[in-house]
Amino acid sequence: METIQNILAGLFLLGGCFFFATATIGLLRFPDFFTRLHATGKGDTLAVTLCLIGLAIHSGLNVTSVKILLIAVFMFLAQPTSTHAISRAGVRCGLEIWRKKEKEGNP
């Protein structure tokens, strides 16, 4: 039973780390502020939820795992809201939107 718990927790943690890595690469490589917000807003939220579910499974059937799942619910509600707030501020301040440039030399 304990090995099944450990294996499941390890799988969820690895999935969370994969999405963290993807979100970080997106934050570094995307060309514009709004596209970077896509990467960090969605990727980070999913990664945090997966990691917290993995840690709750590892901890067993406790009060502690209920608290960890409460953090997951709070992050699921609060992080998209803060992304929306900062992107709304960006739009109202008039940041320019990146557009794809036409490729030259097309036949």
Partner 1 sequence: MIHRGEDIIIRTISRMLIPFIQLYGLYVIMHGHYSPGGGFQGGVILGASLILLLITHGYHDARSRVPERVLTVFSGVGVFIYAGTGFLCLVLMGNFLDYAMLAKILHTDAAHARSLGILSVEIGVGMAVMAVMVSIFLDISTGGVLPGEEEEKQKTAEEA
Partner 2 sequence: MQTFFLAVALGICFLVLLVLYRVVYGPGVFNRVAAISAVGTKTLIILLIVGFLYQRVDMFVDISIVYALLNFIGCVAVAKYLEMER
Residues making contact with partner 1 (CB under 8 A): 74, 77-78, 81, 84-85, 88
Tell me the CA distances in angstroms from 103 to 35, 55, 57, one per residue in order: 21, 48, 51
Q: Is 37 in the site for partner 2 (CB under 8 A)?
A: yes
Work out which of 31, 35, 57, 92 binds partner 2, going by CB under 8 A: 92
Give the residue from 86, 98, 80 showing the smallest Cα distance to 44: 80
Contact between 48 and 13 (Cβ < 8 Å):
no
Closer residue to partner 1 in complex, CB, 25/91: 91
Cβ of residue 84: shortest distance to partner 1, in angstroms? 6
Closer residue to partner 2 in complex, CB, 67/97: 67
Q: Is 49 left (phi over 0), alpha (psi -120 to 50) or beta?
A: alpha
Q: Is 17 in the site for partner 2 (CB under 8 A)?
A: yes
